[in-house]
Amino acid sequence: MSTKLKYKPLTIPQVKWSKKTFNNTFGEVVAQPLESGFGITFGNALRRVLLGAVEGSAVTSVIVKGVNNEFSSLPGVVEDIMQILLNIKEIVIKNKEGNPGKMHLNVKGEGVARVADIKADAHLELVNQEHVIAHLATNGEIDIEFFVESGRGYQPAQWPIGKSLQEDNRIYIDAMFSPVIKVYFDVEKTRVGKDIDYDKLTLKIHTDGSESPSEVLHYCVSVLRTQLEHFLIDPEIPFNEISASMEESKEEETEDVTNSSLKGVKAELLFKPIEELELSARAQNCLITSDIKRIIDLVNLTDDDVLKIKNFGKKSLREVKDAMKTYNLSFGMDIKESDAKKLLKDKDNEETE
């Protein structure tokens, strides 16, 4: 299509994580408003890539001292080798470099061999420390060398062709590399002004703890974006810029607060910390690092002032604007602290009379 055409803007969604439920193994993220139909489109694409294309690390082969195949058993060890291999598949590994690595387990005497007993290479971090590998009797001993690799999705055991027994007694096992366990998404209708035909996408991500939900979603979106770029035959149409400029125009038209007025503003809110606006961690940290800690400090800045803050981009700017608009606030209000304090004092006097 011609680059000279005047394109209609697309609705720019806000993407927010639920802070109440977010942890290293579960996250719920909401994207809204989306153009009609985009909720299902994005939900399906994100879910499929999250489940099948996110990199992770897992044990792909082991050498168990005293055995040369998976159908053996060890004296003094309750579990047979097959059950031990199943337990090994459930070891959760965080690979800090993405490189192959080795781990070693040696336990003697009565007790329980756990993941916490494994010694791993420096770039490998074992997440589920309490996971049980085997139970040992008084005369039991278990000695295992683990070989760790990185990959995507599921990989069947990579046995060398034509060899039933390996010279080093290595046993190959199938591996599930993906750190993502489950992904659900739900699409609802949401309102933008008088229009009700927009989508709201809620995505729930469960991981094994080796990567957080936000990390795997970042990886997933990066995969989709870079793959889709190769379908472009001409320079990309800058819909983000087109849409952002349109939204800014609407904001200027509908702005209720003038730059020099306190009309409609709660004076006590101005002296509260910016955490009151419930911004994303990225935007909030950028502001606090720049010594912008109170809402009054924020509203007295201009758009250009905020964009000069390190790592603070247009997306964060729109997020902060939307959050402030909820409280009838905006950038460039030029509120004097003395005026705000006077307004707050007058209000207190009215309440006590």
CA dihedral 56, 25, 33, 9 (to 10 degrees): -20
Q: Are residues 324 and 300 in the same domain?
A: yes
Q: Are residues 63 and 163 in the same domain?
A: yes
Q: Are residues 30 and 112 in the same domain?
A: no
Q: Are residues 286 and 138 in the same domain?
A: no
- Asked if 200 and 186 touch (Cβ cutoff 8 Å), the reply is no
Q: Are residues 88 and 159 in the same domain?
A: yes
DSSP per-residue letters across 205-241:
EEE-SSS-HHHHHHHHHHHHHHHHGGG-SSSPP-HHH
Q: Are residues 107 and 189 in the same domain?
A: no
Last residue of a domain, one of 176, 205, 228: 176
Kindly tell me the burial class for residue 45, based on how many C-beta atoms sit within 10 Å of its own C-beta (0-12, 13-18, 19 or more): middle
- CATH label of the domain that carries residue 319: 1.10.150.20
Q: Are residues 292 and 210 in the same domain?
A: no
In 15-91, where does DSSP find H-type helix? 38-52, 81-89
How high is the pLDDT of residue 258? 36
- Asked if 99 and 121 touch (Cβ cutoff 8 Å), the reply is no
What are the residue ranges in the chain where pLDDT is below 50?
A: 250-261
- CATH label of the domain that carries residue 190: 3.30.1360.10
Asked, for residue 335, whether it belongs to a domain, the answer is yes
pLDDT tens sequence across 28-46? 999 989 999 999 999 999 9
What pTM was estimated for this model as a whole?
A: 0.67
How, if at all, do strands 154-155 and 132-136 pair? unpaired
Kindly tell me the burial class for residue 144, based on how many C-beta atoms sit within 10 Å of its own C-beta (0-12, 13-18, 19 or more): buried
**Cα gap 205→21, rounded to integer Å:** 11
The 8-class DSSP code of residue 139 comes to T
**Cα gap 94→90, rounded to integer Å:** 13
- Asked if 118 and 146 touch (Cβ cutoff 8 Å), the reply is yes
How high is the pLDDT of residue 246? 54
Asked, for residue 4, whether it belongs to a domain, the answer is no
Asked, for residue 252, whether it belongs to a domain, the answer is no
Supply φ then ψ for residue 92, to 5 degrees: -100, 120
How high is the pLDDT of residue 40? 96
| H and E: helices and strands count for the chain | 10, 15
Last residue of a domain, one of 141, 157, 176: 176
Q: Are residues 211 and 316 in the same domain?
A: no
* Percent of residues in the chain assigned helix, strand, coil, to nearest 5: 35, 25, 40
Q: Are residues 201 and 265 in the same domain?
A: no
Last residue of a domain, one of 176, 196, 220: 176
User: Domain tally for the chain?
Assistant: 3
Q: Are residues 217 and 267 in the same domain?
A: no
In the chain, where does DSSP find H-type helix? 38-52, 81-89, 213-228, 239-254, 267-270, 281-289, 295-299, 303-307, 314-325, 337-352
Supply φ then ψ for residue 152, to 5 degrees: -125, 145
Domain of 344?
258-352
Specify the 3-state DSSP secondary structure of 188.
strand
Q: Are residues 186 and 284 in the same domain?
A: no
Q: Are residues 275 and 293 in the same domain?
A: yes
CA max distance for the chain: 94
Asked, for residue 166, whether it belongs to a domain, the answer is yes
How, if at all, do strands 141-152 and 101-108 pair? antiparallel
Provide the CA 272 distance to its chain's centre, in angstroms: 29
